Amino acid sequence: MKALRIVLQLVILGAGGITLAALISQPAPDFTTIVIFGGFVALLLALTLALKEHTEKRLVPGHKLSFKPMGIVMILLGAFGIFYGASFLIDQQSLPNDSGTCRAVCGLILLISEIFGETVAKFFAFGTWSSIGLFLCFVGYKVKGVKAT
Protein backbone atom coordinates (compact mmCIF):
# COMPACT_ATOMS: atom_id res chain seq x y z
CA MET A 1 0.00 0.00 0.00
CA LYS A 2 2.92 2.31 0.75
CA ALA A 3 4.32 1.83 -2.76
CA LEU A 4 0.92 2.56 -4.30
CA ARG A 5 0.61 5.77 -2.28
CA ILE A 6 4.11 6.90 -3.31
CA VAL A 7 3.37 6.17 -6.98
CA LEU A 8 0.10 8.10 -6.67
CA GLN A 9 1.94 11.07 -5.15
CA LEU A 10 4.52 11.00 -7.94
CA VAL A 11 1.79 10.91 -10.59
CA ILE A 12 0.00 13.84 -8.94
CA LEU A 13 3.23 15.85 -8.71
CA GLY A 14 4.25 15.00 -12.28
CA ALA A 15 0.92 15.69 -13.94
CA GLY A 16 0.29 18.71 -11.72
CA GLY A 17 3.75 20.13 -12.39
CA ILE A 18 3.43 19.71 -16.14
CA THR A 19 -0.02 21.31 -16.15
CA LEU A 20 1.08 24.19 -13.94
CA ALA A 21 4.09 24.76 -16.22
CA ALA A 22 1.75 24.84 -19.23
CA LEU A 23 -0.56 27.30 -17.47
CA ILE A 24 2.32 29.58 -16.48
CA SER A 25 4.03 29.50 -19.89
CA GLN A 26 1.02 30.92 -21.73
CA PRO A 27 1.47 34.40 -23.23
CA ALA A 28 -1.10 35.85 -20.80
CA PRO A 29 -1.27 33.47 -17.80
CA ASP A 30 -4.51 33.56 -15.83
CA PHE A 31 -3.53 33.94 -12.18
CA THR A 32 -6.88 32.68 -10.86
CA THR A 33 -6.66 29.45 -12.84
CA ILE A 34 -3.09 28.86 -11.66
CA VAL A 35 -4.02 29.39 -8.00
CA ILE A 36 -7.13 27.17 -8.23
CA PHE A 37 -5.23 24.38 -9.97
CA GLY A 38 -2.36 24.66 -7.48
CA GLY A 39 -4.89 24.34 -4.66
CA PHE A 40 -6.37 21.28 -6.36
CA VAL A 41 -2.95 19.62 -6.59
CA ALA A 42 -2.30 20.45 -2.92
CA LEU A 43 -5.70 18.95 -2.00
CA LEU A 44 -4.85 15.73 -3.86
CA LEU A 45 -1.53 15.48 -2.06
CA ALA A 46 -3.25 16.10 1.29
CA LEU A 47 -5.71 13.33 0.47
CA THR A 48 -2.85 10.91 -0.14
CA LEU A 49 -1.46 11.79 3.29
CA ALA A 50 -4.90 11.16 4.78
CA LEU A 51 -4.89 7.82 2.96
CA LYS A 52 -1.66 6.94 4.79
CA GLU A 53 -3.21 7.68 8.19
CA HIS A 54 -6.41 5.85 7.28
CA THR A 55 -4.47 2.78 6.15
CA GLU A 56 -2.44 2.68 9.37
CA LYS A 57 -5.60 2.95 11.48
CA ARG A 58 -7.37 0.28 9.44
CA LEU A 59 -4.62 -2.27 10.09
CA VAL A 60 -5.37 -2.21 13.84
CA PRO A 61 -7.46 -5.26 14.84
CA GLY A 62 -11.06 -4.37 15.75
CA HIS A 63 -11.05 -1.20 13.62
CA LYS A 64 -14.55 0.02 12.80
CA LEU A 65 -15.48 1.43 9.40
CA SER A 66 -15.85 5.22 9.32
CA PHE A 67 -18.20 7.04 6.98
CA LYS A 68 -16.62 10.43 7.71
CA PRO A 69 -14.44 10.61 4.52
CA MET A 70 -17.45 9.80 2.33
CA GLY A 71 -19.48 12.49 4.08
CA ILE A 72 -16.73 15.06 3.58
CA VAL A 73 -16.50 14.24 -0.14
CA MET A 74 -20.29 14.63 -0.49
CA ILE A 75 -20.14 17.99 1.30
CA LEU A 76 -17.38 19.13 -1.07
CA LEU A 77 -19.43 18.00 -4.08
CA GLY A 78 -22.41 19.89 -2.69
CA ALA A 79 -20.32 23.04 -2.26
CA PHE A 80 -19.19 22.69 -5.88
CA GLY A 81 -22.84 22.41 -6.98
CA ILE A 82 -23.77 25.56 -5.07
CA PHE A 83 -20.88 27.55 -6.53
CA TYR A 84 -21.56 26.19 -10.02
CA GLY A 85 -25.17 27.32 -9.72
CA ALA A 86 -24.06 30.74 -8.51
CA SER A 87 -21.77 31.05 -11.54
CA PHE A 88 -24.86 31.04 -13.77
CA LEU A 89 -26.41 33.83 -11.75
CA ILE A 90 -23.36 36.12 -11.84
CA ASP A 91 -22.72 35.52 -15.56
CA GLN A 92 -19.49 33.56 -15.14
CA GLN A 93 -20.98 30.44 -16.77
CA SER A 94 -22.76 30.63 -20.10
CA LEU A 95 -26.05 28.89 -20.69
CA PRO A 96 -25.94 25.70 -22.79
CA ASN A 97 -26.28 26.08 -26.54
CA ASP A 98 -27.94 23.80 -29.06
CA SER A 99 -24.77 21.78 -29.80
CA GLY A 100 -26.44 18.38 -29.39
CA THR A 101 -24.15 17.25 -26.54
CA CYS A 102 -26.49 18.38 -23.78
CA ARG A 103 -27.97 15.76 -21.43
CA ALA A 104 -30.10 15.69 -18.24
CA VAL A 105 -29.89 18.96 -16.28
CA CYS A 106 -28.14 20.77 -19.12
CA GLY A 107 -30.91 19.77 -21.52
CA LEU A 108 -33.55 20.94 -19.07
CA ILE A 109 -31.81 24.33 -18.76
CA LEU A 110 -31.60 24.55 -22.56
CA LEU A 111 -35.33 23.79 -22.85
CA ILE A 112 -36.20 26.45 -20.25
CA SER A 113 -34.02 29.02 -22.04
CA GLU A 114 -35.75 28.33 -25.35
CA ILE A 115 -39.24 28.53 -23.86
CA PHE A 116 -38.94 31.32 -21.26
CA GLY A 117 -35.79 33.22 -22.22
CA GLU A 118 -32.29 33.66 -20.93
CA THR A 119 -33.09 35.47 -17.67
CA VAL A 120 -35.49 32.80 -16.43
CA ALA A 121 -33.05 30.08 -17.52
CA LYS A 122 -30.25 31.65 -15.44
CA PHE A 123 -32.45 31.66 -12.34
CA PHE A 124 -33.58 28.10 -13.10
CA ALA A 125 -29.97 26.93 -13.54
CA PHE A 126 -28.99 28.64 -10.29
CA GLY A 127 -31.92 27.10 -8.44
CA THR A 128 -31.41 23.62 -9.87
CA TRP A 129 -27.65 23.36 -9.30
CA SER A 130 -27.84 25.03 -5.90
CA SER A 131 -30.64 22.67 -4.84
CA ILE A 132 -28.58 19.68 -5.92
CA GLY A 133 -25.60 21.11 -4.04
CA LEU A 134 -27.61 21.75 -0.88
CA PHE A 135 -29.03 18.24 -1.05
CA LEU A 136 -25.53 16.74 -1.37
CA CYS A 137 -24.30 18.90 1.53
CA PHE A 138 -27.21 17.75 3.68
CA VAL A 139 -26.71 14.07 2.85
CA GLY A 140 -22.95 14.42 3.33
CA TYR A 141 -23.48 16.02 6.73
CA LYS A 142 -25.79 13.18 7.77
CA VAL A 143 -23.42 10.51 6.43
CA LYS A 144 -20.44 12.16 8.16
CA GLY A 145 -22.24 11.95 11.49
CA VAL A 146 -23.11 8.23 11.24
CA LYS A 147 -21.41 6.17 13.92
CA ALA A 148 -18.83 3.58 12.85
CA THR A 149 -20.05 0.01 12.41
C-alpha 41/C-alpha 127 separation (Å) is: 30
Whether 81 shows a pLDDT value over 80: the answer reads yes
pLDDT of residue 123: 93
Residue type, 88: F
SS3 of the chain: the string is CHHHHHHHHHHHHHHHHHHHHHHHCCCCCCHHHHHHHHHHHHHHHHHHHHHHHHHHHHCCCCCCCCCHHHHHHHHHHHHHHHHHHHHHHCCCCCCCCCCCCCCHHHHHHHHHHHHHCHHHHHHHHHHHHHHHHHHHHHHHHHHHCCCCC
Segment of 11-15, 41-45, 71-75 carrying the highest mean pLDDT: 11-15
**Please, what is the Cα angle at 25 between 18 and 88, to 5 degrees?**
85
Interacting residues of 117 by C-beta distance below 8 A, sequence separation 6+: none
The model scores a pTM over 0.75: no
Percent over 70 (pLDDT), the chain = 91
Residue 78 vs residues 2, 32, 41, 96, 137: alpha-carbon distances, Å: 31, 22, 20, 21, 5
